[in-house]
Amino acid sequence: MIDLIIIRGAPGVGKTTVAAALRDAIGHAVLFDVDYFCKMHGKHPKEVEARYFAHRLIALLAQEFYPLGHHIIIERMFKEQADIDHIIELFSSKKYRIHVFTLESSLSSVIARDSLRTGDVHLGRDVTMLLYDRFSRSDVQNKGFVINTENRSVEEIVKEIREKI
C-alpha cells in the first residue's frame, strides 16, 4: 500500500525540514508544498480556490508517481479542516493509506527558528506570532498524530513518524 502523508504545523515548527528528511529516509517519495503550487499559479495561499487548485494539481501529479509506488508527502500549515478533507477526498479513490501528522512547538521556539531563516521564508516576529495564534485556534479536528518538535532532532522526529506509518 502507498502512503499519503500530510504534515501540518505552525510556521517555524519544522514542517519543511522534517518533510524533506522524511522523503529522503523513505525513498520513493515525492514532497509537495501546497503554498508553492498556489504561488506558482499566481495566487495567495489564503484564497480557498487557490488552495483547492493546488490540491487538485498535486493529486494529478501524484497519479504519475502512483504506478511507480512512490509515497506522497504534502506539507502546509493546514489550519482549516476543509483543506485536509479535500486532500483526503482527492486521494482516497487511489487507495492510499492516509496519515496526518501535526507538528507542535512552543511560540518561543518557532520565533527562534524563524529568526534563523533568510529571504522570503523569514516571516519576522510579529507575523510568526500572528500565524502561530491562528494555527493554535484552527478548526482542524483531524490532527492525526501530534508530535512535539521542541528540543528534538529532525532524525528523532522522522523516526517517530516512520514508526507510526
Residue pair 28/71 in contact by the 8 Å Cβ criterion: yes
Taking the alpha carbons of 152, 155, 156, 160 in that order, is the dihedral positive or negative?
positive
d(CA 60, CA 72): 12
Q: 3-state SS of the chain: helix, strand, coil percent to 5? A: 55, 20, 30
For 82, the domain range is: 3-164
- Which has the closest alpha carbon to 34: 10, 55, 59? 55
pLDDT tens, position by position, 88-146: 999 987 789 999 999 999 999 999 988 888 887 788 899 899 999 999 999 899 899 99
Number of domains in the chain: 1
CATH code of the domain containing 25: 3.40.50.300
User: pTM for the full model?
Assistant: 0.93
Residue 67 has pLDDT above 90, yes or no: no
The cell numbers describing 104, all together, are 507542535
Residue 8's alpha-carbon distances to 42, 65, 68, 69, in angstroms, are 23, 22, 26, 23
pLDDT value for 118: 81
Distance CA 58, CA 42 (A): 16
